[in-house]
Chains A and B, each alone.
Chain A
Amino acid sequence: MRKILLDSVTHGPLTEPAPQPDEAMLAELATSLDRAARARLGRSLSIREVDAGSCNGCELEIHALNNAFYDLERLGLRFVASPRHADVLMVTGPVTRNMREALLRTYQATPSPKWVIAVGDCAANGGIFAGSYAVAGGVNDVVPVDLHIRGCPPPPAEILKGLIALLRL
């Protein structure tokens, strides 16, 4: 174990430079955030992830944000265990009818000011599952969304771009 730890010290970090914020995402955000929120939160965000019906593909890539390559916490962003500790809800999946109530309650349990990020094509509008008897729709059909990050699933770098855009506003 000591050898690995020493190797890590001598080889330098794997962590890659943070990507630049995406212009379209910035524009989308500009309308839904105000300066007061920024002043109150500073450059630090606590994120509560909610799977509202995803196939778990988005979860895999959100998980990857914590690996040594993307290292989310260096940006002041971290995942928290409770919505009561969160500034941001990061929601994946089409919202299933069976999860709609749980998502609403999670949203209500998150203190204001709060933002919602919808991750993945399904979260945007139900995606490939839209129209099913078991699907309530995209995230925006259930709780107000501030930022959409598209992709099936969006790679970690894309999710990171969206998050940085959220912070820079």
Chain B
Amino acid sequence: MAPLDLISNARPVEAHRPWPRAIVRDDGWHAAIDHLEAGALTLLGLWGDAGAVHMAVLDARAKIAVLTYPCGNGRYPSVGARHPPALRLERAIRDLFGLDAVGSPDTRPWLDLGFWDVAHPLGAEAPAQPAAPYAFLPAEGEALHQIPVGPVHAGIIEPGHFRFTAAGEHVVRLEQRLGYVHKGIEKLMQGATLGDAAKLAGRTSGDSTVAYAYAFAQAAEAALLVTAPPRATFLRALMAELERLANHFGDIGAICNDASFALIHAQCGILRERTLRAAQICFGHRLMMDAIVPGGVARDLTAQGPEALRALRNEVRKIFPRLTAIYDSTASLQDRTVTTGIVNAEYARRFGAGGYVGRASGRDFDARRALRYAPYDQLAFEVPVLETGDVDARVRIRISEVEQSLALIEQILAQLPAGDIRVALDAKPPAREGIALAEAFRGDVLVWLRLDDAGRVARCHLRDASWFQWPLLETAIEGNIVADFPLCNKSFNCSYSGHDL
């Protein structure tokens, strides 16, 4: 496989599917960092394990590999020292596993805010030590002032802390501090049955419950050498596109609302509600939680489902173009969104930013197209990409994706195969590993899984697209006015829960 060709002395391990995993030493690890720094590889994930760290990388031809660095003495060479997208991941690894990234310029805790009874809960557990006060990065100069915001915010949103340093109205520096909704999901996964673990995966970020269950099921099936029945794969994609539609409607409306344009917000709220009601009719749950399971899907499309979906499509096709026409022709709205919160294309590439954040800044990547996982190998769709990288571009990517998702739903209904919706999984497989990437509405979700020889989860890592988007929000707001932060933040709509785990 291509990424491993770049790495010297990589020793592949058995039973890791569908992409290879290889054990490397210092030379191979540093070679991978060289290629990340040079842009030949994109970092897909970096996570801890018992006495080792794993790094998932993607090359320019959309080939994926996992590199494992055994750290016998609890240390590994820092990736973040030369490739900043890894910094927060390394801080999380230190908090959870106690493994140190040697040479990292930022060794502050990240998920451990000093409230746990244990230190390194997934590694060699130790009693927690008193936490030192958190040192925010400095911004110095005359007339600068700080604005601390959160963790409890003013709206109905998730908790996190934002530390603004402003000169008058203009943001000089934003620093995020996250981890408030850390629930210990990866620890709860350990020892869980596949069924229980799939439920946990589906509650990593509720707005992406379908995408997480999708990725988790694919990773489990890869590990167990099982293929979901064709009908199940089509129903999974149907759920994924409904989830994308609902979230994009919500986001487009909420972004316009943060620019004080209530009409599109109200109308998009109606479209979102209609989408959730169609999902309820089709699969018996508005958010479609626990509908995707390892081996297939838990529920078939109801008899009333196709009619509800056609009604939804007709309604969206009638209303949505009017809303986009209003968006296009309202100068006061465009005045807020155009040239606001620009994400530099080079940052988007370097951070491997997924979803609309990456695609609005020229990063032409969508896991559905790059990996062609079933049934997207049998469906036609386009991946919209823009270059301007502002709030407006992130709105327009979503608008284009609404149209693509509608077209996909039509194709799925037209081509939906008959047959089983679920296959049984071998209850007692030997220990093996699987990995999957699924395209959630906000970007690619990575799930990496190791099953023990009783078929239970030995280790599972879930990586939300937000890990590589949150840092870009810090860059996007720089030089903008404080009052535009809600608008910029909503145009990203990063997940707190998906990030904090």
A residues sitting closer than 8 Å to B (CB atoms) are 1, 3-5, 14, 49-64, 66-69, 79, 81-83, 93-94, 96-102, 106, 128-129, 131-135, 152-153, 155
Contact = CB atoms under 8 A, between A and B. Distances in A.
Nearest to A106: B152
28 contacts: A1-B326, A5-B263, A49-B155, A49-B156, A51-B157, A53-B181, A54-B158, A55-B203, A55-B206, A57-B209, A57-B289, A59-B158, A60-B206, A63-B250, A67-B273, A69-B270, A96-B180, A99-B159, A102-B159, A102-B180, A129-B184, A129-B188, A131-B188, A132-B185, A132-B188, A133-B116, A152-B289, A155-B286
A55 B115 contact: no
B42 interface: no
Given A51-B181, A56-B495, A97-B115, 16 more contacts: A1-B330, A51-B158, A54-B497, A57-B203, A59-B156, A59-B158, A61-B286, A64-B273, A67-B266, A82-B154, A98-B113, A98-B500, A102-B180, A129-B184, A132-B185, A134-B116
Contacts of B35: none
A102 B152 contact: yes
A57 B207 contact: yes
B276 A64 contact: yes
Closest 3 CB pairs of A and B: A57-B206, A134-B184, A132-B184
Nearest to A68: B270
A1 B113 CA distance: 48
A64 B268 CA distance: 11
A58 B207 CA distance: 9
A20 to B, nearest CB: 20
A50 to B, nearest CB: 6
Interface in B314-364: 322-323, 326, 330
A56 B153 CA distance: 14
A19 to B, nearest CB: 15
A132 B187 CA distance: 8
Nearest to A127: B203
Given A4-B267, A133-B118, A58 B181 contact: no
A113 to B, nearest CB: 21
A56 B115 contact: no
Contacts of B289: 57, 152
A50 B206 CA distance: 16
A117 B85 CA distance: 39
Contact of A56 (B273, B323, B326, B496): B496
A165 B17 CA distance: 53
Contacts of B185: 129, 132
B287 interface: yes
Given A64-B273, A132-B188, A53 B183 contact: yes
B357 to A, nearest CB: 18
Residue from the set B118, B266, B323, B330 with the largest chain A CB neighbour count within 10 Å: B266
B78 interface: no
A83 B152 CA distance: 10
Interface in B474-501: 495-497, 500
Contacts of B187: 132-134
A60 B286 CA distance: 10
Interface residues of B, number: 52
A96 B187 CA distance: 14
B294 interface: no
A135 B156 contact: no
Residue from the set A1, A67, A83, A131 with the largest chain B CB neighbour count within 10 Å: A67
A161 to B, nearest CB: 16
A123 to B, nearest CB: 13
A58 B159 contact: no
Contacts of B118: 133
Given A49-B156, A129-B188, A56 B263 contact: no
Given A55-B204, A96-B182, A81 B116 contact: no
Interface in B165-220: 179-185, 187-188, 199-200, 203-207, 209
Nearest to A90: B156
Nearest to B154: A81
A101 B113 CA distance: 11
Interface string B250-288: 100000000000010011011011001000100000110
A4 B204 contact: no
A99 B111 CA distance: 12
A53 B181 CA distance: 4
B269 A1 contact: no
Nearest to B182: A134
Nearest to B286: A155
Nearest to A130: B188
B142 interface: no
B295 interface: no
Nearest to A100: B115
Contacts of B322: 3-4
Contact of B156 (A62, A68, A153): A62
B151 interface: yes
B181 A93 contact: yes
Contacts of A53: 180-181, 183, 497
Contact of B182 (A55, A83, A98): A98
Contacts of A134: 116, 121, 182-184, 187
Contacts of A68: 266, 269-270, 273
B269 A66 contact: yes
A129 B188 CA distance: 7
A4 B330 CA distance: 14
B117 interface: yes
Contacts of A96: 180-183
